[in-house]
Amino acid sequence: MRVHKIATVATPVVAFVLALPTILNGRLIDVSQECEFSGELSLTEEWRYAPLETSPDDHLIGLPSSVARHPESGVYVVDVLGAGVLHLSLDGQFIRRVGRSGEGPGEFRWPQIVRATEQGFAVFDAYAGISFFDTVGNFQRIVRLQPFPSGIPSGARDFRILENGDIVFAGTASSSDHAIHVYSPDGEYQGGMGQIRMDLEEPILRSRYNNGFIAETGVGRLAYARPVPFEFLLFEDSELTAEVTHTDILYDYVHDVATPLEGGGWKFEWRHPRLTSFTRLPDGCFLAAVARLPESVEGEPPEATDFYTELLFLSDQGRVLGRQTLSFYFRPLEAWGDRGGRTHLLGTTRDKATGLDLPVQYLAGGAPREGPEPTMPYAEPK
């Protein structure tokens, strides 16, 4: 089913920040030209994939965890619960389902992340490795990483395939204290960048709170966003060139949400803000998304369907240029510009009526406006 509508947004807080250098822990952070979208952003829904309950089984989607767009062949959506990948057209129409539950070639146990490649797409499975497919879903090969990202089922939150074929992961890996891990095209460990949080003694906490997101910004240039607390790291030729922490976005909530249990193990509280995505915008700056819950909904404790999203516009050096609160949940996973100069955002949204997560694409419009530095309130959704 294809739906077109205007996505509503709450009144945003909009600002440009002065392009002055910032000193962080004795390090001078350079600030480049500001971004196109640092102010009000309007989102017009272009399509969403919402199959009817009466659709064929292969059309249905249980839980989309990741989406990727190939500019020629379509959109690929990882279905975690369905242990497969949905191949959609560029306008959101079903084409085919790729893969199934299993341990053979082209099969999945726990698929998590999909990335487009020149030849098609690649899927990271938390128990197996990275499976490569052509544009129509024919299995090509699998890369088994050594050592494999640690954690249960895996300590990997994000991965990218670089222009030189190397594979980079964000998360934790055995025998490594790095936050980003670099593998060769055939899966051999090459080294790492950044440091995991060494103050977290328990492995499960290190895995959970060091999982961040990676954005490739050019040859030899990577940006990394750590979720707790929110931290922006920029690497050029593996060297750290910028490091900015924003505790006003996501503070260190380890002690608020992680409770040790008698006899071992941990209990995690899900009702807390979380970083859901981090992507590079066509103008070279970044868009991060934080899922938040209101204090209450009509006097009742909020549920998962009450999550809404705060968009954060970051300069290419990690400074917050503006913040905007949406009245709904949206996880932007890819951004690109078309030949007409328009920007599009592809990701997932949560339908409040059914509680289902669905792939969605928006046309992003709007222009920045000058104003005072933001006071950054956390507005509840309308």
User: Is there a contact between 161 and 143 (Cβ–Cβ < 8 Å)?
Assistant: no
Query: In the predicted model, is pLDDT for residue 200 greater than 70?
Result: yes
pLDDT of residue 210: 78
Rounded to 5 degrees, φ, ψ at 22 are: -115, 140
Query: Phi, psi at residue 108, to the nearest 5°?
Result: -130, 150
What is the overall mean pLDDT for the chain? 83
pLDDT in tens, 48-71: 999 998 999 999 999 999 999 999
Q: Please say if the pLDDT value at position 29 is more than 70.
A: no
Strands of the sheet containing 221-226, edge to edge, are 213-218, 221-226, 230-236, 239-246
β-bridge partners, 329: none
* pLDDT category of residue 196 using cuts at 50, 70 and 90: confident
Label residue 100 by pLDDT band (50, 70, 90): very high
Asked if the model's pLDDT at residue 329 lies above 90, the reply is: yes
Indicate the CATH number of 5-365 among 3.30.70.600, 2.120.10.30, 2.60.120.380, 3.40.50.620.
2.120.10.30
- State yes or no: pLDDT of 42 exceeds 50: yes
User: Per-residue pLDDT for 324 more than 60?
Assistant: yes
Q: Is the distance from CB of 30 to CB of 71 less than 8 angstroms?
A: no
pTM of the model: 0.85
Predicted pLDDT of residue 39: 65
Q: What pLDDT is stored for residue 219 in this prediction?
A: 81
